[in-house]
Homo-oligomer: A and B are copies of this chain.
Amino acid sequence: MIKLSTKGRYGTRLMLNLARHYKNDQQAVILKSVAEDEAISIRYLEQIVIPLKINHLVKSIRGAGGGYMLARKPSEIRVCDILQALEGSCSLVECVEDETFCDKIKTCGTYEIWKAATELLKNYFDRITLQDILEISDKKLAAAKKKSKAK
């Protein structure tokens, strides 16, 4: 498996959850609620949200009545932004972004392969926004609902 880490997966679901609650005068969503919705440990989510905040993808409000919210519109947050924030990069191998990572980069026969594959992924994640995911997800849920009703 070319593994997308749990940080990346959980973090994207966290962001999607916040996106679902996004309105123009949005109210904060508490992590506890996200944790329950997504069946992910709160403690772990707390760690995951830190880099999202540092990278200005979410804002937080402390104290009672506080919580987290998207820092900007879902249509302005790309999957790539999320992965970049959580994993420091969107690439398959370090050397694609950090040329000093492998020292034999000049002669490595596989470099071009991982690089090309990374471009493919990046292009995709670059053009998918939370808004897109939201729409895809809504369609899916509506279809599932229709199906279960039809029974």
Contacts and interface: CB of A to CB of B under 8 A. Distances in A.
Contacts of A92: 1-4
Interface residues of A, number: 44
Contacts of A137: 109-110, 112
B16 A110 contact: yes
B128 A121 contact: no
How many copies make up the complex?
Answer: 2
Contacts of A8: 2
Contact of A110 (B9, B39, B141): B9
A136 B113 contact: yes
A140 interface: yes
Interface string A75-88: 00001000100011
A107 B83 CA distance: 22
A114 interface: yes
Nearest to A97: B1
Contacts of A108: 13
Pick the 7 closest A-B CB pairs, nearest first.
A109-B137, A4-B92, A1-B87, A1-B89, A16-B109, A120-B120, A2-B4
